[in-house]
């Protein structure tokens, strides 16, 4: 972290985003490119159909893979130095490997480094692995922590009555836990889709037709070789592309992430409103300042911070999802610069998740405030009364309750007097007279079980 960092991702939020550096930095891109080049070399050497490249020894394979395993900043900077001459980032990888292997026992196979490859064969596989690993190893565990935290709250608070609000007005009561469970259920659907997401890869040359491949080795089943190689990397084989992999799966992934983000945004705003209503209270943290001039304040800044970062994340991911699947003819270079920002969109989402979790750790339900609001909202029982009346054949039940409750406050005595005045079966009348706003929560506590 540098105080002169251009963006808050490396500056203010650097401690949060640092784990993503192994997957989305320039260093990571170079490392993944070397990984793909090395594995392609090993794949060819392991296939007798490539008669001109010999089989590697166990030691040689270990040496090749250790170039990746031991890859460090010094090696990355060396490749960047080569790039200053080549003005081509993938060709710099090839020259680095030639130089690294040139004095070893592998000096006889140098011509097979980057054999039959276009740069996009290396790039698309690298980016697919970066995206897959970055999401699975960094973003997803944090998203799961968020869901686990809200799940715990939902289960603990599933029976705590709370006045609901539709259109900002008092509505039929619910429970605090059930309202939290709604978000858990929504998030889990998105994670289910994300976990089943395919990450596609292609390995078919300059325009996707295996042109050079089939001229050099016409007897090889190139589609089978390509499929086996791509799948060996843990990716899904795309058999039909132009020079570039079409990036549709990237759009799918980012659309899922933006849906997750938007559910989180909805959650942040609801938590902000619940805090504003006093339904949830924030814990005072020693040493923290809520306002520079108003000493009493504890502001919901963590949820606000999350909201801001979600907006940035959505803007970037939405742009990439819309831009990347579009490429002129067999390819243009605009995807190359755009792809370098995939980590930025994911980083802002990660920051948002982190701050929401931080806010949740300082927030708890305020039972007294919830009970107080419910006790001043006896009018919400009008729904229950008119529904039971309709069941028993009373005409214009809705209008009768509307006349005494719409836009008005109504007391416990008023609603009970009305119930007593209505001709109802004894069991129904008794049930309505025993009802309170706090008891009128329907199946809310049981509905929380859907998140288990």
Given a contact cutoff of 8 angstroms between Cβ atoms, the answer to whether 275 and 331 are in contact is no
Bridge partners (DSSP) of residue 443 are none
Q: Which residues contact 360 (CB under 8 A, 6 or more apart)?
A: 149, 150, 153, 271
The SS3 assignment for 194 reads helix
In the DSSP assignment, the letter for residue 111 is G
Marked catalytic residue, from 105, 232, 291, 411: 291
Active-site annotation holds for 119: no
Given a contact cutoff of 8 angstroms between Cβ atoms, the answer to whether 379 and 409 are in contact is yes
Buried b / exposed e along 127-138 (16+ C-beta atoms within 10 A)? bbbbbbbbbeeb
How large is the angle between the packed helices 119-134 and 26-45, nearest 10 degrees?
A: 120
Q: Which residues contact 79 (CB under 8 A, 6 or more apart)?
A: 30, 92, 93, 96
Marked catalytic residue, from 167, 196, 337, 421: 167
Give the integer Cα–Cα distance in Å for 220 and 237: 18
Active-site annotation holds for 247: no
Active site members: 167, 291
């Amino acid at each position: 972290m540098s105080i002169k960092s251009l963006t808050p991702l490396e500056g203010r939020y650097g401690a949060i985003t640092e784990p993503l550096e192994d997957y989305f930095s320039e260093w990571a891109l170079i490392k993944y490119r070397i990984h793909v080049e090395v594995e392609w070399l090993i794949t060819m050497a392991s296939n007798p159909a490539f008669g001109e490249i010999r089989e590697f020894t166990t030691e040689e394979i270990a040496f090749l893979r250790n170039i990746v395993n031991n890859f460090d900043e010094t090696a990355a900077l060396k490749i960047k130095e080569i790039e200053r001459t080549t003005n081509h980032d993938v060709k710099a990888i090839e020259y680095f490997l030639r130089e690294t292997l040139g004095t070893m026992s592998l000096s006889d196979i140098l011509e097979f480094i980057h054999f039959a490859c276009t740069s996009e064969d290396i790039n698309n596989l690298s980016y697919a692995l970066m995206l897959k690993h970055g999401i699975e190893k960094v973003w997803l565990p944090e998203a799961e922590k968020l869901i686990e935290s809200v799940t715990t709250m939902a289960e603990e608070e599933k029976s705590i009555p709370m006045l609901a609000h539709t259109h900002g007005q008092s509505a039929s009561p619910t429970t605090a836990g059930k309202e939290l469970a709604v978000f858990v259920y929504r998030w889990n659907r998105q994670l289910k889709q994300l976990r089943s997401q395919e990450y596609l890869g292609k390995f078919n040359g300059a325009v996707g037709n295996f042109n050079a491949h089939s001229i050099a080795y016409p007897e090889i089943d190139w589609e089978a070789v390509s499929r086996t190689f791509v799948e060996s990397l843990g990716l899904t084989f795309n058999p039909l592309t132009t020079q570039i992999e079409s990036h549709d799966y990237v759009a799918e992934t980012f659309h899922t992430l933006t849906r997750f983000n938007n559910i989180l945004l909805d959650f942040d705003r609801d938590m902000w409103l619940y805090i504003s209503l006093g339904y949830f209270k924030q814990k005072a943290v020693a040493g923290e300042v809520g306002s520079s001039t108003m000493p009493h304040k504890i502001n919901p800044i963590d949820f606000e911070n999350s909201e801001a970062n979600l907006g940035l994340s959505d803007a970037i991911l939405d742009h990439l999802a819309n831009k990347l699947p579009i490429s002129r003819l067999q390819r243009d270079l605009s995807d190359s610069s755009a792809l370098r920002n995939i980590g930025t969109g994911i980083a802002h989402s990660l920051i948002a998740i982190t701050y929401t979790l931080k806010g949740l750790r300082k927030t708890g339900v305020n039972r007294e405030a919830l009970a107080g609001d419910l006790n001043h909202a006896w009018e919400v029982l009008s729904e229950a009364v008119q529904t039971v009346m309709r069941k028993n054949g009373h005409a214009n039940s809705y209008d009768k309750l509307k006349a005494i409750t719409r836009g008005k406050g109504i007391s416990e005595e008023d609603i009970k007097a009305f119930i007593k005045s209505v001709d109802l079966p004894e069991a129904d009348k008794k049930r309505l007279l025993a009802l309170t706003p706090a008891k009128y929560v329907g199946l809310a506590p049981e509905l929380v079980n859907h998140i288990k």
